[in-house]
Structure 1
Amino acid sequence: MDLFSALQTSVSGLQAQSYAISNISGNIANSQTTGFKRVDTSFVDLMSDAPPKREVAGSVLAQAQLTNTLAGNVISTSVPTNMAISGSGFFTVVQKTGDANGATTFSGANLYTRRGDFSQDKDGYLVNGAGGYLTGTNLDPITGQTTNTGLIKVGNASLPANASTSISYAANLPATPTTTASATSKKDVYNQNSAAVVIDGANQTGVKVDSTVAGAASTFVDNSIAGPSITAYTTTGAPLTLSTRWAKVQDAGTNPKQDAQWNLYYASDPTAAPSATDWNNVGTSFVFDSTGKMTAPTDNPIKLGDVKIGDYTFPGMTMSVGSSGLTQYADASGAVTTNTLSINGNSAGTLTSVSVGTDGKINGTFSNGTVKPLATVGIAQFANPDGLKADTNGNYQQSADSGPPLVGLNGSTLAGSSIEQSNTDIATEFSKMIVTQQAYSANTRVMSTAQTMMSDLLNVIR
């Protein structure tokens, strides 16, 4: 290498270290920028074409080294729509391009970012602090189906009232129920042949306990045990209490051989005392064998028919007993043990709050207590995240090096009410700054030394 080459090499060194200090400066400046990914610097030597025994140290080239795969710390916030990605992936966002004549326009191309400080704007759209509007799929809170794909809009969703039609129920009925009558007369079985009970055919399944018959309702209550009580909803969303009682109408026996049978009743007047209301039989006999397993009815869900509470009738109510179903095992308490109890239907509700789930769903909580998914956050994965082309405002663009986007979390999760901080470490950047400054100074020393050698050479000629 001649002196001129030495000067050129030192100049390339100055340029490379200048580029490195520029990256360090940018990293430090963005140490508090949400979702920022620091830019490191790598150096590549540029060798001249020469035989092995004549090779000399070449010039140097500085290149950016992205750290898109390195996550920053995740911290909690008080904004429920703030979100951070745990794992790989980027939020898909678009930029607003105009707002004329009351119509807002957005760019057609997706951008990708880790900046998740999203909050609602005046129109209900989710936008982060850098002006990136979150995209994904909006869901119908009633059906859960996709309504459209694009900008996510939370807005002011509402739920209409839905009438109850189905009960999910699983329980154990005690083999020996403890009733008021059993405590005094040792009588476990309710006598449905009483004049107070309307009999439905030869199967002895009572249809109704008539409270207008003196002592009928109180006798029934004394010979039965409390079943589940749950709130059902009418078509207008009005709540009605569905109170039930179980009556054992036949004990298991060996002579003659017979299975145990139970009947289920519900109160027709939820506001009256148990001994002052009619009790309607659902019209199905529940049969249990000697092992405590239910053998009838065999259909699931079980058809309860038209359930009338007060002046309102729930047509075609059904009861699903699930996989565990109903059993009849011995229980010292002599009471029903409820394992599962829920009912569909709801009153009308307005959106009161939102939250972000780990599965990428934005869920809404409504005034009626119902929680429904409102949208799915758009997440994109790339085979080579460090191949993305950096854009302004913390965004990235797809490039040939990054590969096409793969939609979905694909193993990653979201954290709501959280943001990801910059992955810049100040102490590390200061250490790199010291090394870079020393390398820069050394290159200037090479230039001054080469200049002195050239001056000495010229003095020889003189």
Structure 2
Amino acid sequence: MGIYGAINAAVSGLSAQSKALENLSGNVANSQTTGYKRLDTTFSDLVSGGGARQADQVAGTTYATSRATNGLQGDISSVDVDTYMAINGDGYFIVTSANDVIDGQTTFADTDYYTRAGDFEIDDDGYLVNTSGYYLQGFPLDVDTGNQVGDNPGVIQISKEPMAAKATTTIDYQASLPLVPKTTDYDGVSKATALLDTATVGAGDISAANEDTFIDQSISGGSITVYNSNGTPLAVEVRWAKTVNADASVPVDDTWSMFVSSGGLDPAWLEVGNVAFDDTGAMGTLTSGTTGAVNGSGDGFDIASLTIGDVTATGIEISFGATALTQYSNSSGVATSVDLEQNGYAAGDLVGISIDESGRINATYSNSQTLGLYDIPLATFDADQNLERVNGAAFKATPTSGVPNLSGGGAIKSNALELSNADIASEFAKLIVTQQAYSANSKVVTSSNDMLDSALNMVR
């Protein structure tokens, strides 16, 4: 190869170390860039001709190529912004860029990009945008089923519209009624004194005139707030009165009547229905009251219309299920294990956004309801080292990277950010080696020059 070949090899070394220095400087500059993946440098040799055996060959030149570190995760740091996210494991957020604004509406580019920079915040239009200007994409969720809609993700836009009210249609009721209710009128000896005296208060609904007597002859069954179709609340207060107390000489089931308060109207208490219990304490036959009718499954009551105070709700089912309502001996004489749950709510304003580990965006409203809005998919690639780097710590798919797979990926951590995987201490250590290698190659150039001068001086 000779002296000129040595100069050529040294110059290739200078060029390769310059590229390594360029990568190092970029890594150091981006050591605080969210989601940044550093570029390492790989050196390869180019063998010069000269023979078929290594003994006849010379070292040759070198060239440098960049090596991606997409698969090396950076540290995850906790932050106090609910919409900031980090990916723990494989995958990239799918994002796009804004294209134009037409009639006040933002349009978006057709190209998808991929990033691990999860510093997303909600802008004025409800879009989730990171500091590099990329818009997050996801799958919208069906309001009723919670399942994702469609096969292709779209730009996520959080609606600021209030949640509409939902009328209560079901009250799930659970309670264990005592064998002998310790009402105010119960004398502690005779079970008859614990029963509702229908001769005094009448059968069916309880009039306002008989309300005090009814209260003394019944026990509390809990209360719950339900909502009508426009979200107006109704306070439903339940009381139970025992009407039949079976004993050995009277072979009939124990029977209770369920009442709800009318909220100061007359009648004061509305009879929902009657429930019989067998000698094991299990719920038996149900019969309709003046306000409620036995439901189709025979395990509760349907109330077509319920007016409490000046508010009316329609179409409410009180469901006991198969085993939720029982009668057992209880020394306290009150209803125990009482639990009422209903499925309605008032209208509510958006108060916050949260993201769970499954990548679901949930909206929280002032009515204490939470609604799933979007699923955030993670894209994985068979060869993500072949992705094309673009501005803003993002990447673009290439023919050699493979197509994105949206069915896998790691876990999304909210209130967190993935830091750059470029460590300054490590980069500086590489910088020292690169600087020394560059100096050594420059020495080869100067030494080769001295040798050429000596050769030229031979003819002088």
Same fold (TM over 0.5): yes
The farther-off stretch of 184-193 and 395-404 is 184-193
Contact kept? 2:180, 2:329, Cα under 8 Å: yes
Pair 383,232 (structure 1): closer, same or farther in 2 beyond 3 Å: same
Aligned counterpart, 1:228: 222
Asked if residue 362 in structure 1 is aligned to residue 361 in structure 2, the reply is yes
Contact kept? 2:221, 2:338, Cα under 8 Å: no
Correspondences of 1:59-458 after superposition (within 5 Å)? 59-99=61-101, 102-139=104-141, 144=146, 150-182=154-186, 184-187=188-191, 189-191=194-196, 193-198=198-203, 207-212=204-209, 216-251=210-245, 253=247, 257-269=251-263, 278-290=268-280, 292-296=281-285, 299=297, 302-310=300-308, 311-321=310-320, 325-338=324-337, 340-408=339-407, 410=408, 412-458=410-456
Pair 449,235 (structure 1): closer, same or farther in 2 beyond 3 Å: same
RMSD of aligned Cα (Å): 3.1
Q: SS of the counterpart of 2:185?
A: helix
Q: How far, CA to CA, are the matches of 2:323 and 2:440 in structure 1? A: 79
Pair 165,451 (structure 1): closer, same or farther in 2 beyond 3 Å: same
Aligned counterpart, 2:293: none
The farther-off stretch of 87-96 and 278-287 is 278-287
Q: How far, CA to CA, are the matches of 2:128 and 2:32 in structure 1? A: 22
Aligned counterpart, 1:202: none
Pair 110,167 (structure 1): closer, same or farther in 2 beyond 3 Å: same
Pair 234,444 (structure 1): closer, same or farther in 2 beyond 3 Å: same
Pair 458,229 (structure 1): closer, same or farther in 2 beyond 3 Å: same
Pair 253,16 (structure 1): closer, same or farther in 2 beyond 3 Å: farther
Q: How far, CA to CA, are the matches of 2:145 and 2:65 in structure 1? A: 52
Q: How far has the Cα of 1:239 moved from its partner?
A: 0.8
1:325-352 CA distance string (max 9 Å, x none): 3344454544333364321122222212
Contact kept? 1:289, 1:295, Cα under 8 Å: no
Q: How far, CA to CA, are the matches of 1:412 and 1:320 in structure 2? A: 42
Q: How far has the Cα of 1:23 moved from its partner?
A: 0.9
Asked if residue 47 in structure 1 is aligned to residue 52 in structure 2, the reply is no
Q: How far has the Cα of 1:25 moved from its partner?
A: 0.6
Aligned counterpart, 1:204: none
Q: How far has the Cα of 1:447 moved from its partner?
A: 2.7
Unaligned runs of 5+ in 1: 199-206
Contact kept? 1:165, 1:314, Cα under 8 Å: no
| Aligned amino acid, residue 96 of structure 1 | A
Aligned counterpart, 2:292: none
Q: How far, CA to CA, are the matches of 1:60 and 1:221 in structure 2? A: 97
1:30-65 CA distance string (max 9 Å, x none): 112122111122223333563254454343332222
Asked if residue 30 in structure 1 is aligned to residue 30 in structure 2, the reply is yes
1:291-341 CA distance string (max 9 Å, x none): x44455693763333352325443332134468633444545443333643
Q: SS of the counterpart of 1:194?
A: helix
Pair 258,9 (structure 1): closer, same or farther in 2 beyond 3 Å: farther
The farther-off stretch of 228-237 and 63-72 is 63-72
Q: How far has the Cα of 1:155 moved from its partner?
A: 3.6
Q: How far has the Cα of 1:449 moved from its partner?
A: 3.0
Q: How far has the Cα of 1:457 moved from its partner?
A: 4.3
Pair 446,355 (structure 1): closer, same or farther in 2 beyond 3 Å: same
Contact kept? 1:111, 1:396, Cα under 8 Å: yes
Q: How far, CA to CA, are the matches of 1:43 and 1:300 in structure 2? A: 80
Contact kept? 1:211, 1:217, Cα under 8 Å: yes
Unaligned runs of 5+ in 2: 287-295
Q: How far has the Cα of 1:460 moved from its partner?
A: 5.1
| Aligned amino acid, residue 167 of structure 1 | I
Q: How far, CA to CA, are the matches of 1:405 and 1:183 in structure 2? A: 77
Aligned counterpart, 2:290: none
Contact kept? 1:261, 1:288, Cα under 8 Å: no
Sequence identity of aligned pairs in percent? Answer: 38
Q: How far has the Cα of 1:369 moved from its partner?
A: 2.1
Q: How far, CA to CA, are the matches of 1:164 and 1:18 in structure 2? A: 71
The farther-off stretch of 386-395 and 252-261 is 252-261
Q: How far, CA to CA, are the matches of 1:411 and 1:248 in structure 2? A: 60
Q: SS of the counterpart of 1:404?
A: coil
